[in-house]
Amino acid sequence: MQPVIKIRKRNENLKPVDPPEAPELTERESSREVARTVKGWVAEWQQRRKELVSHSLRVSLLVLLCFLVSPESSAQHLREAFRKVEQSVVVIRTNQKNLAPFPEKGMVSLNGLGSGVLISENKVLTAAHLVQSADKTIVEFSDGELIAAQVAGSTMSADIALLQLERAPTGAAAVLLGDSDRVAVGDQIFVVGAPYGLSRTLSVGHISGRHALNKRSERGSSVEFLQTDAAINTGNSGSPVFNLDGEVVGIISNILSRSGGSEGLAFASASNTVRRALLEQKPFWSGIEGVLVEGDLARALNLPQAAGLLVQRVAEGSIAWRWGIRPGKLRASVEGEELLLGGDIILALNEVSVERGGTYDEIYASVNQVRAGDNLIIKVFRRGQTLTLSVPLGP
């Protein structure tokens, strides 16, 4: 027992009150109480340990499944997507006449090689630079079938072209043109083409970036390129870029490379750019391969305006060929760039003057406003004189 402290106030005659005594625990009862408490702690700790072990096992199993199941599932998905589209991918073979390289003279025949994809019963998409000035274009399908084709439309700013086959292929099915606006940086894609002539070659990568070439104008349309790290080499021009659903989201245009081979910097015209330029409006193919001249070179050529399109080549059978547009005939090196001089310099088409920055799309749009049978007005600079040609637009 602890001693009781008695408190008495001054001038007050009060009796001290003892506090009630607390019941004392015996030593045995105290030990039992401690034991029960410890057992409770142990039981609670063991239950929590079981829960933690169970959770850890579940997490470990999920991680293991991610490593073991996910890659196999992704690979199977890719195999199925490739098998779905491989018959639609084609090889594009072109032929064109060109000036012989210096010091040789005369004309030589040059062969081109690229890729493309069937998007309807008799239409193929490819890169414009591959077929723009080609005299002859042949489409080769996976079963070896060869079908001649004519360029139905092209746009050089987006580097895309639409081919019209002479007849439908017997064993190939068309693929769908997807919505490139739904593609995001980081999405996995795959490319099928003919690098170095090896047809139906698959390369896998991701969307690395998106690049708008110009903003939408009143008469022209915006051009967007998708950047990818998929392996792209010579012969892949015009190859389709597929999403994992087997839809075309881009057409390969070019690569940035110091070595000449794939360095993980490739660019494809977005499928929505293709749709707006070639499918939602009347396609047009001039057959002209040209170079924009301006500044000192334009003054040296005595142009009557600040810029013009120097014609390098004209494809046989094209509308420019029917117009009588003359290609270059003299090789020259200007500031390290090889040009063909002596040909026509286009100054304007349908009163749209050739200037730097997006004018090609405006010219293209103006041509689409001309009905079949109406005249196209083209202004050219030829041998120091300005000529105006009026030519009916064919059906």
312 and 239 share one domain: no
Is residue 189 located within the same domain as residue 158? no
Same domain, 240 and 306: no
The predicted structure's pLDDT at residue 319: 87
Beta bridge partners of 309: 292, 346
Q: 130 and 34 in one domain?
A: no
Q: Does 384 reside within a domain?
A: yes
Q: How far apart are CA 260 and CA 244, in angstroms?
A: 28
The answer to whether the CB of 241 falls within 8 A of the CB of 250 is yes
pLDDT, tens digit only, all 395 positions of the chain: 444 444 444 444 444 444 444 444 444 555 555 556 545 655 665 565 555 545 555 545 554 445 444 556 777 889 999 999 999 999 999 999 988 877 777 888 899 999 999 999 999 999 999 999 999 999 999 999 999 999 999 998 899 999 999 999 998 899 999 999 999 999 999 999 999 999 999 999 999 999 987 654 434 567 899 999 999 999 999 999 999 999 999 999 987 766 666 677 899 999 999 999 999 988 889 899 999 999 999 999 999 999 999 999 999 999 899 889 999 999 888 888 889 999 999 998 888 888 754 456 677 667 767 776 778 889 999 999 999 988 777 65
If asked whether residues 140 and 227 sit together in one domain, one would say no
Rg (CA), the chain: 38
Last residue of a domain, one of 68, 99, 117: 68
224 and 154 assigned to the same domain: no
Total structural domains in the chain?
4
The candidate with the shortest Cα–Cα distance to 271, out of 206, 176, 392, 194, is 176
What one-character-per-residue DSSP string does 251-271 give?
EEEEE--SSSS--S-EEEEEH
Domain boundary among 108, 134, 165: 165
Backbone angles phi, psi at 205, to 5 degrees: -165, -155
78, part of any domain: no
223, part of any domain: yes
Indicate whether 279 belongs to any domain.
no
Q: CA-CA distance, 246 to 175, in Å (whole number)? A: 8
- Which residue, among 373, 380, 318, has the nearest Cα to 353 in the 3D structure? 380
Residue reference for tokens 């073979």: 93
Q: Is 15 domain-assigned?
A: no
User: Measuring CA to CA, how many Å separate 278 from each of 15, 182, 186, 367?
Assistant: 112, 20, 28, 13
> Is residue 33 in some structural domain?
yes
Both 368 and 312 in one domain: the answer is yes
Enclosing domain of residue 205: 180-273
Same domain, 313 and 360: yes
| 358 and 292 together in one domain | yes
| Co-location of 105 and 34 in the same domain | no
Domain end, chosen from 137, 165, 193, is at: 165
User: Which tokens go with 377?
Assistant: 């007005």
Tell me the two tokens of residue 258. Answer: 């110091």
Do 156 and 189 belong together in one domain? no
pLDDT, residue 230, reads 94
Residue 367: which CATH number? 2.30.42.10
Number of C-beta neighbours around residue 263 at 10 A: 14
Asked whether residue 257 falls in the same domain as residue 230, the answer is yes
Residue 74 falls inside a structural domain: no
By annotation, the residues acting in catalysis are 129, 159, 237
Beta carbons within 8 Å of 166's beta carbon, 6+ residues apart: 147, 148, 149, 150
366 occurs within a structural domain:
yes
